[in-house]
Structure 1
Amino acid sequence: MTEKVENVNLTSAEISSLWVTYLNIGVASCLLTHYAETCNDPEILAIVEESQHFAKKHLKLIVDLFHEEKIAVPEGFKVEKHVIPRAPKLFSDIFYIHTILHMSKYGVTSHNVGMILAAREDVRQFYKEMFDDVSYLHNKVVICMQEKGIFIRMPYMNYPTKIDFVNKESFLTGWFGRRRPLLGIEVTHLMVNANQNEIGRALCAGFSQVAQDQEIREYFLRGKHICKHILSSIHDVLIESEVPAPMSWDQGVTDSTAAPFSDQLMLYIVGVLSNLGISSYGAAMSATMRRDISAMYTGFIAKTGTFGEDGLNLMIERRWLEQPPQFEDHDKLAKKE
């Protein structure tokens, strides 16, 4: 019988996952602080405040663990540094709850992955607690949005009533002639990516109005145009198959030109959205069985990847990109000796 090993060090997967989680929760705290200051809808404000409670709780859990393990706590994004108090409202209350829905979806996925990758029981329990909190919040957000009539459902389709098999290679094509109708899974991914780009377009539009740095302002405008191009391409595919396209969020941005956030925070948020977009396009490609749609996603990945890399360069030039945890460069250490 083997003895239980106590005080096992955190693995690279656990450290990097916790590190990224800390940064992303800090970003959420900054957004939620501005939302709480400017939200007028009492039901949405209650959800904003509960989201803030969970964010503070989860940040403390990570900080306590880092202190216990003697790991440097990242600089991250602190509210007092990156949120401008009493700034005018930049987005609508409806947009607030849509971004919280988006954040809760991401949280459910990322916390689940963190729990799966964790070897230590305390880290698994930590991610399970975060997963449970965010799942609860996600359910509450969906109920609130349904009651307000603003929840966007996936399109309905006829129930399959018989078993069938594909018997023509044309099932995979899509370049010429009449294309086959979209599969349910293909529509799901198209809708998810459309919704993400609606949020991205609105954020880029709002951020471009308030950014102080002209180069960053132009970068956000470029992001807005990329989102519009992707949305147009997705809508064309949906309309061709007579599938309703998701609604637009242009109305979610106010006419304010006063920044509620630092340029650094806004640039990081757009970078996170770019990374999520690439991941989502890759997942969509793996589930798509029409070659024309796969090629479309390939183009999205290339365009978004270039955009995201340019954003990283902007952060590096301004010394805003915090170094993630990495393994030792032993060759470099040997040269020092």
Structure 2
Amino acid sequence: MGEKTEFVKLTCAEISSLWGTFLNDNMVICVMTHFLETVEDPEVKTILEETLQVAINHKDTIEGIFLKENIVVPQGFPLEKHVVSNAPRLFSDIFYMQFVLQLARYGVISHTSSLTMSAREDICQMYHDFLNQTSLVYQHAVFCMQKKGVFVRMPLMNYPEEIDFVDEKKFLTGWFGRRRALLGIEATHLMMNAINNEVGKATCIGFSQVASEQILRDYFLRGKHVCTHLMSSIHEVLEESDVPTAMSWDQNVTNSTTSPFSDQLMLYIVGTLSFLGVAAYGTGISTSMRRDIISMYLGFMSKAGAFGEHGMDLMIERNWLEQPPQFEDREKIAKRKN
């Protein structure tokens, strides 16, 4: 790196990206630690070990940057506080693979976004490396799941054979009368969101069995019902165009009632999945050209956002929500007591 990077302070975008990545990798370390204690399939174990090592390397790299820049290191999720050693498994090996796949997908998107928002040479290079490493985890997870016959591929469609142009305004409609068939890109995002909700539903089912407080168990059950409702709406749209829907992951939750994680970590995980859902619905809106689908996604965003906000309220009430980096409140400083 050039010497000038030593004199260039981090921007708000870079600090926020580093902070969020640090916390998320902290969470991944905790989750992978339990998964590795309970995994049975040696091939799945290899993927989990790779995921854990990547998360540790990312966390350590960012911690080094914080220390060098005299930025306080987030508390995150210390293993000894948030992971229960030798707890019975809560999910199956297939779920472990699907969860890693979701983490890797998010990581690829997150690191790409962080890279494009960064300007300092060392931070850009770091996120470039993070992106490559996370992409490899994604590829290895996909190949392993394909080998085991549990990877859900996107639906097949006929190849376009000729150039065509839209000649009817009803191309954009969808509320009344016969709707046009789904575009390939619309079906793709609907399928991705269905799979996301399958993972979210299974996660909420598992956490609802083991949370220590009834209010938290009720919250996770609410998450299960939200995911079920959203999946039902997605499946209706897909089935109308004869597009096969995603498989169910419910069978991948065990009957354990012993929690492998702290309540705080479980709330963070579900909250992260909720806000990732909001982002995915926004992407779905940007790629959809049927008004009914756009309207459906807007409803999804409202439900997922409200659910995620409730989870944040529960964390704030328990003093579990760590304060993200923010600008100074100048009015508060000006009105401080001498």
Could you say which residue in structure 1 is the equivalent of 2:68?
A: 68
Return the TM-score normalized by structure 2. Answer: 0.97
Partners of 2:143 and 2:308 in 1: how far apart? Answer: 34
Partners of 1:185 and 1:43 in 2: how far apart? Answer: 32
Could you say which residue in structure 1 is the equivalent of 2:101?
A: 101
Partners of 1:8 and 1:33 in 2: how far apart? Answer: 37
Partners of 1:277 and 1:139 in 2: how far apart? Answer: 22
> 1:283 deviation in Å?
0.9
CA contact (8 A) 2:155 2:244 kept: yes
Query: C-alpha offsets along residues 96-134 of structure 1, whole Å, 9 cap, x if unaligned?
Result: 011001101111111111111111101111111111111
> 1:34 deviation in Å?
0.4
Partners of 2:115 and 2:5 in 1: how far apart? Answer: 20
Structure 2 letter corresponding to 1:43: E
- Unaligned runs of 5+ residues in structure 2 are none
- Unaligned runs of 5+ residues in structure 1 are none
Could you say which residue in structure 1 is the equivalent of 2:256?
A: 256
Are 2:165 and 1:165 equivalent residues in the alignment? Answer: yes
> 1:5 deviation in Å?
6.6
Matches within 5 A, 1:298-337: 298-336=298-336, 337=338
RMSD: 1.1
> 1:291 deviation in Å?
1.0
Could you say which residue in structure 2 is the equivalent of 1:83?
A: 83
**Are residues 314 and 4 of structure 1, via their aligned partners in 2, closer, same or farther at CA, if it must alter by over 3 Å?**
closer
Are 2:30 and 1:57 equivalent residues in the alignment? Answer: no
CA contact (8 A) 2:105 2:138 kept: yes
Structure 1 letter corresponding to 2:192: V
Using the TM superposition, name which of 248-257 and 289-298 deviates more.
289-298
CA contact (8 A) 2:54 2:133 kept: yes
Structure 1 letter corresponding to 2:99: T
Partners of 1:273 and 1:148 in 2: how far apart? Answer: 25
**Are residues 6 and 264 of structure 1, via their aligned partners in 2, closer, same or farther at CA, if it must alter by over 3 Å?**
closer
Could you say which residue in structure 1 is the equivalent of 2:238?
A: 238
Structure 2 letter corresponding to 1:27: M
> 1:78 deviation in Å?
1.6
Corresponding residue SS for 2:273: helix
CA contact (8 A) 2:5 2:122 kept: no
Could you say which residue in structure 1 is the equivalent of 2:196?
A: 196
Corresponding residue SS for 2:7: coil
Structure 1 letter corresponding to 2:153: R
> 1:54 deviation in Å?
1.0
Could you say which residue in structure 2 is the equivalent of 1:174?
A: 174
Partners of 1:4 and 1:93 in 2: how far apart? Answer: 48
Q: Count how many residue pairs are aligned between Structure 1 and Structure 2.
A: 335
Identical-residue share of aligned pairs (%): 58
Matches within 5 A, 1:2-151: 6-151=6-151
Query: C-alpha offsets along residues 188-214 of structure 1, whole Å, 9 cap, x if unaligned?
Result: 110010000000000000000000011
Structure 1 letter corresponding to 2:261: F
Structure 1 letter corresponding to 2:154: M
Could you say which residue in structure 2 is the equivalent of 1:216?
A: 216
Which consecutive aligned stretches of 4+ in structure 1 deviate over 4 angstroms post-superposition?
Answer: 3-6
> 1:142 deviation in Å?
0.9
Return the TM-score normalized by structure 1. Answer: 0.98
Partners of 2:5 and 2:260 in 1: how far apart? Answer: 48
Partners of 2:147 and 2:248 in 1: how far apart? Answer: 20
Partners of 1:298 and 1:335 in 2: how far apart? Answer: 41
